[in-house]
């Protein structure tokens, strides 16, 4: 009985650590070390990482920001900034999740 909360806690901690590491900016410039290939095109590894690591987290983020928008909609309406809130909390995360080409960060 005690094992389930420990496992759940460890899974949640691992997920939280993974999610926070996705927000760390990459240091350096990829075009500096191109070695003869066009660095503007994403590699297969970048596409796989985007498809299986970044997109699922961004999907969860899109759902959370959309829920936040719905909860804060009355306050945005009173403040007169519904369009700005919709753009920042719904349109931009959805665009980054669904419209962006695979592998392009």
Q: Encode the chain (105 residues) as per-residue pLDDT tens digits.
A: 556 676 766 666 666 656 555 554 444 444 444 444 556 788 999 999 999 999 999 999 999 999 999 999 999 999 999 999 999 999 999 999 999 999 888
Nearest 5°: phi and psi at 86? Answer: -65, -40
Q: Which two tokens stand for residue 24?
A: 């760390």
Give residue limits of the domains in the chain: 43-105
Q: Is 86 exposed, middle or buried (0-12, 13-18, 19+ CB in 10 A)?
A: middle
Which pLDDT does position 33 carry in this prediction?
45
Concatenated DSSP letters for 38-91?
-TTSPPHHHHHHIIIIIHHHHHHHHHHHHHHHHHHHHHHHHHT-HHHHHIIIII
CA 59 to chain centre: 7
Looking at residue 48, the DSSP 8-state letter turns out to be H
Q: What is the pTM of this model?
A: 0.59
Which pLDDT does position 105 carry in this prediction?
80
């Amino acid at each position: 009985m005690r094992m389930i909360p420990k496992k759940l806690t460890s899974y949640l901690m691992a997920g939280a650590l993974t999610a926070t590491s996705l927000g760390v900016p990459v240091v350096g410039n990829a075009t500096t070390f191109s070695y003869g290939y066009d660095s503007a095109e994403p590699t297969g590894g970048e596409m796989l990482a985007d498809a299986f690591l970044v997109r699922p987290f961004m999907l969860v983020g899109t759902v959370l920001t959309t829920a936040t928008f719905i909860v804060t909609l009355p306050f945005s309406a009173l403040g007169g900034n519904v369009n700005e809130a919709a753009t920042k909390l719904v349109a931009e995360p959805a665009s980054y999740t669904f419209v962006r080409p695979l592998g392009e960060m």
